[in-house]
């Protein structure tokens, strides 16, 4: 890598851009929640001032058109394994890869005059980011979207968790995805952090319009996102409600459920989602999401009731929430009372909230939205208000750029005070 591949960092007064090294196993792109959020945060960052260190697996999963236009450097990383000895062998390989990543990162920081390292607390690469930051004296910012550390395995408790504590305590700044995650980080590791909610761009008025008012085919409930253990039990509940036609008892003769996700016909049959009013319309690109959401009457936002998912839903936060809020549509939240999503929706008042896996409670919530237009309009207005206050990506980008400037300036002052030559 030549010095010309990133321009030397000028004085902060001349430009707000700081030379940035992003280190994470998944690249900023548009193929799952955390990657999407990082892509949005960095999308408008000058491409000649950022380098991405990521995994080969991450690059293979994402499409070129969905990534940032900057340079990407890929490293191999071994996946998990059920066999004990094979798993340990892969862990040793991954530690060796981290040494390789660290050596390349040190050279990159020196040659390209990197001002700040950015990393996500996920997988293995975050440990390399912290080690390199410590060795070179480069400040690093850590982002925490999910809790990948506090698990019940011996390796997590005795190796990963102590290392995570070191990583977080030495970070210059920590972003977390929810107040519950903020409390977890403080309780487990004694580290203070800043909440950075999932965010997206504002929708145009045309994207928020409903193209088929009073459609004889019935109102549309829509879900867009990945199908996994965090949502499928709630989707099963909605599918059951539609399949048994119980909504007729609540004055709604017909309702349709459209979900945009990757699911096979066999999986639909296994879940019982083969009703004619339950349509899987396939995955859509991020660019098409605003218009898609604007075509629905209700946006369905589920979070799992499964006890095995409890730790996740108590701290993480679904990234699609930002898109739903920006759409300015009535939102239907289904999840347990202890979930971050239910607590947030209840506090902010932007959704009908169902806190039990109960078809009657779900039917009543849908009835309040469909049969009471003033109530639906209030929910839509609240959604836009919450979006503007907490989920606008333009504001987050401005705050992030300001943080980078202050971080570099503070690091220079510390180095100068210690008698060190600034990079």
Distance CA 399, CA 419 (A): 30
CATH architecture entry for 205-390 = 3-Layer(aba) Sandwich (3.40)
Per domain, the residue ranges of the chain are 3-199+392-417, 205-390
At 248 the pLDDT is 93
Is 364's pLDDT higher than 70?
Answer: yes
At 423 the pLDDT is 39
Is 419's pLDDT higher than 90?
Answer: no
Is 286's pLDDT higher than 80?
Answer: no
At 3 the pLDDT is 41
| Predicted confidence (pLDDT) per residue in 43-61, tens digit | 999 999 999 999 999 999 8
Distance CA 276, CA 268 (A): 12
Higher-pLDDT residue of 392 and 87 is 392
Is 213's pLDDT higher than 70?
Answer: no
Distance CA 90, CA 422 (A): 39
Three-state DSSP string of the chain: CCHHHCCCCCCCCCCCCCCEEEECCCCCCCCCHHHHHHHHHHCCCCHHHEEEEEEHHHHHHCCHHHCCCCEEEEECCCCCCCCHHHHHHHHHHHHHHHHHHHHHHHHHHHHHCCCEEEEECCCCHHHHHHHHHHHHCCCEEEEECCCCCCCCCHHHHHHHHHHHHHHHHCCCEEEECCHHHHHHHHHHHCCCCEECCCCECCCCHHHHCCCCCCCCCCCEEEEECCCCCCCHHHHHHHHHHHHCCHHHHHCCCCCEEEEECCCCHHHHHHHCCCCCCEEECCCCCHHHHHHHHHCCCEEEEECCCCHHHHHHHHHCCCCHHHHHHHHCCCEEEECCCCCHHHHHHHHHCCEEEECCCCHHHHHHHHHHHHHCHHHHHHHHHHHHHHHHHHCEHHHHHHHHHHHHHHHHHHHHHHHHHCCCCCC
CATH number of 3-199+392-417: 3.40.50.2000
| Predicted confidence (pLDDT) per residue in 295-342, tens digit | 899 999 999 999 988 989 999 999 999 999 999 999 999 999 999 999
Q: Is 141 left (phi over 0), alpha (psi -120 to 50) or beta?
A: beta
At 385 the pLDDT is 97
At 112 the pLDDT is 95
At 227 the pLDDT is 76
Structure tokens at 137: 């004296």
Residues of the chain with pLDDT > 90: what percent? 63
Range with the lowest mean pLDDT among 195-199, 283-287, 337-341?
283-287
Task: Judge if 3-199+392-417 and 205-390 fold alike in CATH terms.
Answer: yes
Give the orientation angle of helix 340-348 with respect to helix 179-189, to 10 degrees: 130
pTM exceeding the 0.85 threshold for the entire prediction:
yes
pLDDT tier, 82 (very low <50, low <70, confident <90, very high otherwise): low
Higher-pLDDT residue of 132 and 153 is 132
At 75 the pLDDT is 95
Range with the lowest mean pLDDT among 15-29, 110-124, 324-338?
15-29
Higher-pLDDT residue of 85 and 9 is 85
| Predicted confidence (pLDDT) per residue in 224-242, tens digit | 887 778 888 999 999 999 9
At 322 the pLDDT is 96
Give the strand order in the sheet containing 331-334.
278-280, 256-260, 220-224, 298-302, 331-334, 351-354
Average pLDDT over residues 173-178: 97
Q: Which residue in this structure is represented by tokens 């499964």?
A: 306
Distance CA 285, CA 294 (A): 15
At 149 the pLDDT is 65
At 314 the pLDDT is 94
Is 79's pLDDT higher than 80?
Answer: no
Is 27's pLDDT higher than 90?
Answer: yes
The sign of the torsion formed by the CA atoms of 357, 361, 365, 370 equals positive
Query: How would you label 307-322 residue by residue, b for 16+ Cβ within 10 Å and e otherwise?
Result: eebeebbbbbbbbbbb
Higher-pLDDT residue of 260 and 104 is 104
At 237 the pLDDT is 94
At 80 the pLDDT is 59
Question: CB–CB of 226/262 below 8 Å?
Answer: yes
Highest mean pLDDT out of 6-10, 374-378, 414-418: 374-378
């Amino acid at each position: 890598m030549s010095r010309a591949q990133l321009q030397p960092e000028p004085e902060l007064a001349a430009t707000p851009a700081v030379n940035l090294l992003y280190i994470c196993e998944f690249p900023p792109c548009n193929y799952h929640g955390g990657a999407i959020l990082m892509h949005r945060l960095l999308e408008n960052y000058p491409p000649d001032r950022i380098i991405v260190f990521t995994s080969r697996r991450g690059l293979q999963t994402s499409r070129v058109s969905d990534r940032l236009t900057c340079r990407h450097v890929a490293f191999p990383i071994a996946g998990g394994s059920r066999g004990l000895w094979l798993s340990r062998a892969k862990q040793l390989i991954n530690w060796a890869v981290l040494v390789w990543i660290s050596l390349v990162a040190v050279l990159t920081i020196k040659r390209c005059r990197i001002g700040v390292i950015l990393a996500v607390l996920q997988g293995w690469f975050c440990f390399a980011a912290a080690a390199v930051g410590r060795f070179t004296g480069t400040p690093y910012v850590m982002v925490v979207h999910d809790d990948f550390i506090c698990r019940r395995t011996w390796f997590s408790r005795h190796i990963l968790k102590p290392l995570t504590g070191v990583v977080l305590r030495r970070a210059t700044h920590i972003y977390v995805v929810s107040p519950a995650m903020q409390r977890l980080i403080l309780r487990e590791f004694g580290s203070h952090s800043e909440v950075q909610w999932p965010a997206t761009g504002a929708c145009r008025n045309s994207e928020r319009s409903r193209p088929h008012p009073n459609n004889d085919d019935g109102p549309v409930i829509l879900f867009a996102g990945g199908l996994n253990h965090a949502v499928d039990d709630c989707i099963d509940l909605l599918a059951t409600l539609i399949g048994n036609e119980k909504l007729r008892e609540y004055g709604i003769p017909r309702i349709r459920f459209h979900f945009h996700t990757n699911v096979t016909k066999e999986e639909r049959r296994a879940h019982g989602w083969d009703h004619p009013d339950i349509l899987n319309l396939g995955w859509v690109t991020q660019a098409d999401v605003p218009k898609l959401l604007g075509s629905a009457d209700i946006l369905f936002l589920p979070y799992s009731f499964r006890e095995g998912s409890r730790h996740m839903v108590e701290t993480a936060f679904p990234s699609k929430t930002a898109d739903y809020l920006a759409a300015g549509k009535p939102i239907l939240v289904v999840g347990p009372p202890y979930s971050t999503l239910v607590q947030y929706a209840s506090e902010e008042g932007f959704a009908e909230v169902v806190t039990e896996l109960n078809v009657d409670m779900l039917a009543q919530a849908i009835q309040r939205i469909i049969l009471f237009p003033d109530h639906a309009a209030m929910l839509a207005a609240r959604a836009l208000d919450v979006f503007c206050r907490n989920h606008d990506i333009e504001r987050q980008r401005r705050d992030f750029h300001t943080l980078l400037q202050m971080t570099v300036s503070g690091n220079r002052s510390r180095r100068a005070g210690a008698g060190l030559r600034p990079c």
